[in-house]
Amino acid sequence: MNTLALIPGMSGASEMLLILFVILLLFGGKKLPELARALGKSLNEFKRGQLENPPDKKAEKPADEKDDPTKKT
């Protein structure tokens, strides 16, 4: 199993190098570090947000919205 084959249909390092070369041509050498820095900051912010607000396993309804047999909706 090739560990570089993250995208289906990509079998090796030569395809990855070709894609990196095309990205370098499109964005230029000056813009790539800025893009990588912005991507890193956004990933850190996303991880920080996940740690601050862990998702609940089961979404609970507030007490006033729970099923009340006397209340008709």
Span 2-21, pLDDT tens digits? 555 556 666 778 888 888 89
Q: How far apart are the first and last CA of the chain?
A: 56
| Residue 64 maps to a domain | no
**Mean pLDDT computed over 47-60:** 74
User: Which residue's structure tokens are 């956004």?
Assistant: 42
Q: Which domain holds residue 23?
A: 13-51
Angstrom distance (rounded) from CA 7 to CA 28? 24
Global pTM?
0.45
The number of folded domains in the chain is 1
Angstrom distance (rounded) from CA 34 to CA 54? 30
Q: Residue 43: what pLDDT?
A: 93
| Residue 66 maps to a domain | no
